[in-house]
Structure 1
């Protein structure tokens, strides 16, 4: 059994490991130009998290409840702690792998991706009015937009080869698809910048561009010459994105400061 006099040592170890974890999270970005040093810090941080989890389990093993065989009772009482620790460890390792892959080969250049912007908004959600859910949707919508465009392009090739597709209608559908790509890229750009910078004008422009983008999605869903089930499914998902982004965008506009002139 763990003696009461040893609890102070256990708590000291826990606080020491927690302090190191906080230190790395706070200041590791300053070492982005030295990826080898940053990698070592990340590895030690992940090992420290594992040690913290091990200490928690050692505390469990030294209880009378565990020695009596009531493991299920212990898990029921502390499942939140166990699951949260496991989730934090998984997220920490995933973040470290992601950062290292982004910056390892080009450490001399500042790299800031849309994914990092989204993570930054999540981290600052409690203190700022930027909408993290909106930023996540815009980020996912950007990837979905590219997928939608490529799939539609392949579908047009398929329909042009196998179906009696009038040339004028095919040209119209292709031109509208290119127009959709331009509108969507502009809409996502202004929406992301307006949300992150808490600026009403770019976010309002993004919301306004959502209307023609949604009209084009409805066209490909219902009005084009030949609409395949795949296109209907893709367009329906696109309209779902637009509906959620309109709602979150209006809420973000309402939350921005009324004194902000931009």
Structure 2
């Protein structure tokens, strides 16, 4: 019985002629029937290709087995090339690609600094200022020391005064402290004040209303302590405002050093 089955198989194998063209056509038809729309569709089409390839491999295996049983040389194997799909380019830019320049910030708006306030320049030392019937001269008393000083304003008028304001400013150069003041006119004729005002000590005389000063020379002096050493009086100043029968007058100046 077994010999009969073996004989029939050998006869069938000898009579079988594999049709390579039909096999390839079947494989290509199976592959062409798959439509690739997007990457997920490609994944779903692979089972058909695999089944077609498996069928072709089965046919070749049966043919080879039959030929082997008949003792004939099997035909040359046919290599099937399955097309592969290429990966879609990544949407992520390459790190080596051009990098946009960083955004440039707006420059800081330019600001215009306000000029710092400074003390008004005083008149040059030794300057004698005159205005109509008035004249004045400021000087540092020669008896001043390295710790104490007196600034003296000599004021003259050729006409009687019905109003007068005298102001002396001693700049705070270090350790300046007021110690007193005096004038040659009657003390009862004036209202006298002294105060620290920012960067200076201010001495002020004001003629009381209804009083009159005769045409004469007047002296107004201020006294103060200061830091040890020779003190610079270049920023000290005086201001005189007076009213006579012919109108108002103003004098300004500084103090000379002996």
Which TM bucket (shorter chain)? under 0.3
Q: Which has the higher contact order (CA 8 A, sep 6+)?
A: 2
Give the number of the structure whose residues are more often helix, by fraction. Answer: 1
TM-score, normalising length: structure 1? 0.22
Task: Please identify the structure whose Cα radius of gyration is greater.
Answer: 2
TM-score by length of 2: 0.22
Structure having the higher strand fraction is 2
